[in-house]
Amino acid sequence: MVGTSVLQYRIIRQLGSGGMGIVYEAEDTKLNRKVALKFLPESLVMSSEAADRFGREAKLAGSLNHPNICTVHESGLYEGRQFFVMELLEGDSLKTLIQDKPLPIEQILDVGCQIADALEVAHTKGIVHRDIKPANIFITTRGQAKLLDFGVATAGPEHMAEVTDGRTDLFSLGLVLYEMATGRQAFGGQTTAVVFDSILNRDPVPVLQINPAVPADLEHVITRALEKDRKMRYQTAADMLSE
């Protein structure tokens, strides 16, 4: 699609691709700015499930206005394929930055606070992200964290139930903090079943045992976020951010 014009957007180059989308850098010829266009892959155009997920991602992310959530400008159809337009980010994913090594304490705190603040806004609107992980957190060249990929998010009071509510995202944020602090995942395993068994029945290796440089107060935040009993975790993102 390089060189193609979609509405006022001239596609410059492909930035990346995944199972649920192909992302291009484009120029907005009306506003003279660079943007990113995300398209539903052609192979999934006939899948109603994929189309619903793609549309949900655009709608939910587009309904949120927060500096730590990637801005969605608009959505549309091009030759039968769904796409949406979002801000163009320069930097790397948090997953790329970690690379099996701990990050500086200041960066852990900064990124953790930014994402917790973004989640507070999302949860206030009844939106649960459900896929908080380093690959879905982008760090710009200026150090700003941006939350991406609302493809499996849920919205509305009917979804803020016991099984999946905002505390699910806070557990996942605890996993992200753990990985930033230690350079390794809290619950590892060769298969999904093994990982789930570890989450349900085992405690992770204490953060300080892996990285003694982590302040005890930060370890406390991570440990509380990873409580298996959700009633023992932070109840809101605002509570976690405050601590």
Under the banding of pLDDT at 50, 70 and 90, the label for residue 152 is confident
Bridge partner residues of 72 (DSSP): 86
**How does the average pLDDT of the chain come out, rounded?**
89
Given a contact cutoff of 8 angstroms between Cβ atoms, the answer to whether 68 and 117 are in contact is: yes
Residue 218 predicted with pLDDT over 60: yes
Three-class secondary structure assignment of the chain: CCCCEECCEEEEEEEEEECCEEEEEEEECCCCEEEEEEECCHHHCCCHHHHHHHHHHHHHHHCCCCCCECCEEEEEEECCEEEEEEECCCEEEHHHHHCCCCCCHHHHHHHHHHHHHHHHHHHHCCEECCCCCHHHEEEECCCCEEECCCCCCEECHHHCCCCCCHHHHHHHHHHHHHHHHHCCCCCCCCCHHHHHHHHHHCCCCCHHHHCCCCCHHHHHHHHHHCCCCHHHCCCCHHHHHHC
Given a contact cutoff of 8 angstroms between Cβ atoms, the answer to whether 141 and 91 are in contact is: yes
Mean pLDDT of 78-98: 93
Mean pLDDT of 152-178: 79
Mean pLDDT of 58-79: 92
The tens digit of pLDDT for each residue in 98-127 reads 999 999 999 999 999 999 999 999 999 999
The residue whose two tokens read 């996993």 is 175
Q: Choose, from 28, 110, 131, 165, the residue flagged as catalytic.
A: 131
Q: Give the pLDDT score at 153.
A: 80
**Least reliable range by pLDDT among 17-31, 51-65, 83-97, 183-197:** 183-197
The residue whose two tokens read 């850098």 is 25
From CA 53, how far away is CA 153, in angstroms rounded?
A: 9
Q: Give the pLDDT score at 142.
A: 94
Task: Verify whether residue 117 is a known catalytic residue.
Answer: no
Higher pLDDT, 80 or 134: 134
Q: Give the pLDDT score at 43.
A: 81
Q: Give the pLDDT score at 51.
A: 85
Sign of CA dihedral 43, 135, 145, 2: negative
Bridge partner residues of 38 (DSSP): 23, 84
Q: Give the pLDDT score at 55.
A: 87
Residue 194 predicted with pLDDT over 70: no
Bridge partner residues of 232 (DSSP): none
Mean pLDDT of 3-17: 91
Residue 211 predicted with pLDDT over 60: yes
Higher pLDDT, 47 or 65: 65
Under the banding of pLDDT at 50, 70 and 90, the label for residue 1 is confident
Higher pLDDT, 241 or 51: 241
Given a contact cutoff of 8 angstroms between Cβ atoms, the answer to whether 121 and 69 are in contact is: yes
Q: Give the pLDDT score at 160.
A: 47
Mean pLDDT of 195-219: 87
Neighbouring residues of 158: CB distance < 8 A, sequence distance ≥ 6? none
Residue 238 identity:
A
From CA 55, how far away is CA 184, in angstroms rounded?
A: 33
